[in-house]
């Protein structure tokens, strides 16, 4: 049984999760492209402000210079927070479009079809109530008949988009919720953003 679970996880990572990874890669690419535009504009504006602050500081003397430099650093810190928030909102909006019920059906179907019949445990898929209702209308019945697996759809208040799936009646899960995907995508973009907006 332990080997079957290991084989299942490996198979899911190779076959089923591939669809979700491709979707995440597309969302990440779109978010990355828009984030670069935001960062470029923010960097230019920050440079202009700091240059202006430095010019003023020379006129006002050493004491004022130190204060203006600190203000520039504070501005960059504030700017970093604002860009991070914009990046999160942008990613959430892109995920909202990419994780519509039709796409969820395709991804969930691929994952479940790749699970071996011998596992024999119930498959639990948690989604928001709206997506659950859509998938219950035909998709679930058809997939259960096709795969000969017991599939349970549950609604979860904590999921706005995406889903969480368990192949062993809830003992372990694979999290493809919007929260997990946003964390993954923004987490991979933030190091580059921090480098660009590093106080000088």
Question: Do residues 124 and 93 both lie within one domain?
Answer: no
pLDDT tens across 51-89, in order? 887 777 676 666 766 776 777 777 777 777 877 777 777
Q: Is residue 83 part of a domain?
A: yes
Q: Is residue 6 part of a domain?
A: no
Question: Do residues 92 and 117 both lie within one domain?
Answer: no
Question: Do residues 69 and 112 both lie within one domain?
Answer: no
Average pLDDT value over all residues in the chain? 77
Question: Do residues 187 and 89 both lie within one domain?
Answer: yes
Number of domains the chain contains = 2
Burial class (CB in 10 A: 0-12, 13-18, 19+), 174: middle
Question: Do residues 162 and 190 both lie within one domain?
Answer: no
pLDDT > 90: percent of the chain: 4
Q: Is residue 119 part of a domain?
A: yes
Question: Do residues 53 and 64 both lie within one domain?
Answer: yes
SS (HEC) of the chain: CHHHHHHHHHHHHHHHHHHHHHHHHHHHHHHHHHHHHHHHHHHHHHHHHHHHHHHHHHHHCHHHHHHHHHHHHHHHHHHHHHHHHHHHHHHHHHHHHHCCHHHHHHHHHHHHHHCCHHHCCCEEEEECHHHHHHHHCCHHHHHHHHHCCCEEEEECCCCCCEEEEECCCCCCCEEEEHHHHHHHHHHHHHHHHHHHCCCC
Q: Is residue 4 part of a domain?
A: no
CATH number, residue 159: 3.30.2320
Q: Which domain holds residue 189?
A: 11-98+182-196
Q: Is residue 160 part of a domain?
A: yes
Q: Which residues of the chain have pLDDT under 70?
A: 1-2, 4-21, 57, 59-62, 64-65, 68, 116-121, 197-200
Q: Is residue 187 part of a domain?
A: yes
Of 30, 8, 7, nearest in space to 186 by CA? 30
Question: Do residues 84 and 29 both lie within one domain?
Answer: yes
């Amino acid at each position: 049984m332990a080997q079957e679970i290991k084989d299942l996880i490996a198979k899911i990572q190779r076959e089923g999760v591939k669809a979700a990874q491709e979707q995440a890669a597309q969302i990440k690419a779109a978010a990355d492209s828009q984030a670069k535009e935001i960062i470029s504009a923010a960097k230019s504006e920050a440079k202009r402000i700091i240059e202006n602050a430095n010019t003023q500081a020379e006129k006002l003397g050493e004491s004022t210079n130190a204060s203006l430099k600190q203000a520039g650093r504070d501005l960059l810190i504030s700017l970093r927070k604002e860009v991070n928030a914009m990046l999160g909102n942008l990613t959430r909006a892109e995920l909202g479009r990419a994780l519509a019920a039709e796409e969820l059906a395709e991804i969930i179907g691929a994952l479940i079809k790749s699970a071996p019949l011998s596992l024999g445990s119930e498959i639990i898929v948690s989604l928001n109530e709206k997506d659950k209702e859509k998938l219950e209308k035909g998709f679930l019945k058809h997939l259960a008949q096709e795969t000969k697996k017991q599939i349970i759809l549950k609604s979860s208040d904590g999921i706005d988009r995406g889903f969480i799936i368990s192949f062993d009646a809830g003992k372990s899960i694979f999290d493809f919720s919007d929260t997990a995907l946003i964390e993954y995508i923004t987490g991979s973009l933030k190091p580059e953003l921090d480098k660009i907006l590093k106080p000088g």
